[in-house]
């Protein structure tokens, strides 16, 4: 199974989802993430996943065009995570499109601790969604 998580910057939500999904699915799925306007992986995303034993420190933000052709061929799922912005639209003849709107934890000001709390909250929401999705897919 091939799963692509997408948002605009590929810096927070889609990176959280990629790291969590790789951990949850293990070798049962090929998981990647991408954005329509990639920026830089948010350090808070790296930190909150590290807190639960998932290392995405080597990840980088990427666009759909940066993904390997053998991954993008015959995608099973494209899951968009945007809430308040326009989500990227990707053409795929094979992929089922799912939309899981999550508010961008990086889109607000605050102290480091306030930002970490937003990222932790988003991590837990995404983790819950992916866990339920994985349970459905492995029935």
Active site residue 121: no
Active site residue 80: no
Tens of pLDDT, residue by residue over 7-19, are: 999 999 999 999 9
The CA-atom distances, in angstroms, between 119 and each of 61, 80, 86, 105, 123 are 17, 18, 21, 5, 6
* pLDDT > 70? residue 32: yes
Active site residue 120: no
Which one of the listed residues 29, 67, 87, 125 is annotated catalytic?
A: 87
Residues β-bridged to residue 115: none
Q: Which residues contact residue 136 at a Cβ distance below 8 angstroms, ignoring those fewer than 6 apart?
A: none
Which one of the listed residues 3, 7, 12, 130 is annotated catalytic?
A: 7
Tens of pLDDT, residue by residue over 48-83, are: 999 999 999 999 999 999 999 999 989 999 999 988
Q: Which helix (H) or strand (E) holds 24?
A: helix 13-25
Read off the pTM.
0.95
Question: For 22, what's the count of Cα atoms within 13 Å in the CB-facing half-sphere?
Answer: 17
At the fourth CATH level, which superfamily is domain 2-137? Response regulator (3.40.50.2300)
């Amino acid at each position: 199974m091939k799963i692509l998580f997408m948002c605009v910057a590929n810096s927070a939500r889609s990176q959280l989802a990629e790291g969590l999904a790789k951990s949850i699915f293990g070798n049962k799925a090929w998981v990647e993430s991408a954005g329509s306007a990639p920026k830089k992986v948010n350090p808070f995303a790296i930190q909150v996943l590290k807190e639960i034993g998932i290392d995405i420190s080597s990840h980088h933000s990427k666009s759909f065009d940066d993904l390997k052709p053998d991954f993008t061929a015959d995608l099973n799922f494209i899951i968009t995570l945007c809430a308040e912005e326009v989500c990227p639209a990707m053409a795929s003849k094979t992929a089922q499109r799912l939309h899981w709107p999550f508010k961008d934890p990086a889109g607000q000001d605050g102290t480091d601790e306030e930002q970490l709390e937003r990222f932790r909250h988003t991590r837990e929401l995404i983790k819950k969604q992916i866990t339920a999705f994985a349970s459905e897919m492995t029935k």
